[in-house]
Structure 1
Amino acid sequence: MLQQTRETQILDAAEALFLQSGLKRITMDDIAELVGVSRPAIYQYFSSKSDIASMALKRMHQRSLDSVWAAIRQARGLKSQLKAAIEARDGVFLDQRLSAPVPLWYLDMQNSWAATEFEKSQAGYQNILRLQLIRSRVHGDEAAIIARLLVMSAMSLREIATDPEEFSSELGSFLSIILEKHLPAGSQTDSDGGGAAGFADAASRIVM
């Protein structure tokens, strides 16, 4: 139990420091100082800064996906569930982008292992949205298309939004377009499957 507590303290400290100063500028000494232990003590739990960063990244992405599920469970109605889910992930990323003094270390796509972990997490995120659409009686292939569009559009929106209110407003408008145009009559899609082009048109309202 003590080991788990110390590991958690180290990871918490590392996350805070990476967010504040970026991954490259932080040293093991910085992490040890924030935790309140010696540098050698850190090596009892982690072999290197890369080891800490990798574990912190996995933990952070899992926490993000857990938040997405929790947001869905607390919301009622498909639009509210999707909006809450996206705000629980991309909305949080936006908040951190706006408040952090340096680029977000966990979204550094130039870092191969960070990019790999992000892609894995994005796939899990997309699958959560897909499953929620299927639970709302959207056909499987259509649900996959919509989920992919939502993930891509939300990522674009959080990169251009200037504040959380703008993000939330634009996201709500976008979801209304998707659900009203492509999921009529109790979230059922048209059987001809011809909505994909319309999805791209709707997405352009966000990314333009």
Structure 2
Amino acid sequence: MSETHAAADRPPMSQPSDLAAKRDARVLDAATEVFSRYGFARTTMQDIAEQAGMSRPALYLAYANKDSIFTAVVRRMNARQLAAIRAAIAPLPGLRDKLLHACLSWGAHGVDLIEAHPDARDLFSLAFPAVQEMYDEFQVLLTQLLSEPATGAALGATPAEVARAMTYAMRGFKDTATDGSDMRRLITLQVSLLATALEHTPDGTTR
């Protein structure tokens, strides 16, 4: 076999960017597991390195510190969840169904994870800037859903204000709900009340 044919038969070598992406995915998968199990404060870079099956020096080549890994974990988790929500609500017929699915998916996720791993609470703590970003991005999604229906509704608030109220009401539900089922009941009630209000015009007639 000629060298030309031998080279053609070999699988293409992974590009540096591909290797880096695979490494980052392995690190973030491992870090998600460790942060969920131990929380932010008790997790160390050594814990993440061991879970990822790599040396601590190799981990430091990828991420400067634990804070940067935590930020990447939260951003990836939120991006995946928002993408899944947007895909799921796109074919739904009305605002009530869209809001209910979005709020249940986003709001109950944290409670379910914390029920399984109590120290995962840090992944949803507003003490971290990345979590604040997560709340801001969900508000954007709700604002987009509410923009047309909320126009002219007798709420005395802008779509952005309504979205903010809904988002942080769910934060309160998360702190007080007894379990995931209770959280879902509270979210369903909130969405039902809002949707009913939005179905009526300022003069009291039904939209």
TM-score bracket, shorter-length normalisation: 0.7 to 0.9
- Does 1:75 pair with 2:92? yes
Q: 1:126 aligns with which of 136, 139, 143?
A: 139
Q: For residue 139 of structure 1, what is the aligned residue in structure 2? A: 151
Q: Matches of 2:118 and 2:133 in 1, distance apart?
A: 26
Task: Give the share of equivalent positions with the same residue, in percent.
Answer: 27
Query: Deviation digits for residues 79-121 of structure 1, max 9, x if unmatched?
Result: 1110110112111011112221325122334x4xx1x222222
Q: For residue 71 of structure 2, what is the aligned residue in structure 1? A: 54
Q: Equivalent residue of 1:138, what SS? A: coil
- Does 1:32 pair with 2:49? yes
Distance 1:108 1:153, change over 3 A: closer
CA-CA distance at 1:146 after TM superposition: 2.4
**Alignment size in residue pairs:** 183
Structure 1 segments (4+ residues) deviating >6 Å: none
What are the ranges of 5 or more consecutive residues in structure 2 without an aligned counterpart? 1-17
Q: Matches of 1:52 and 1:69 in 2, distance apart?
A: 26
Q: Matches of 1:99 and 1:7 in 2, distance apart?
A: 25
**Contact persistence 2:75–2:130 (CA under 8 A):** yes
Q: For residue 183 of structure 1, what is the aligned residue in structure 2? A: 198
Larger Rg, first or second structure (1 or 2)? 2
Letter in 1 for 2:31: A
CA-CA distance at 1:191 after TM superposition: 7.0
Q: For residue 198 of structure 1, what is the aligned residue in structure 2? A: none
**Contact persistence 1:22–1:105 (CA under 8 A):** yes
Q: Matches of 2:47 and 2:187 in 1, distance apart?
A: 39
Q: Matches of 1:108 and 1:138 in 2, distance apart?
A: 30
Distance 1:49 1:172, change over 3 A: closer
Q: 1:159 aligns with which of 160, 175, 195?
A: 175
Query: Deviation digits for residues 110-142 of structure 1, max 9, x if unmatched?
Result: x4xx1x22222212211211111224x321854
Letter in 2 for 1:183: L
Distance 1:117 1:50, change over 3 A: closer
TM-score, normalised to structure 1, is 0.77
Structure 1 residues 65-74 or 22-31, which shifts more? 65-74
**Contact persistence 2:32–2:73 (CA under 8 A):** yes
RMSD: 2.3
Q: Matches of 2:110 and 2:133 in 1, distance apart?
A: 16
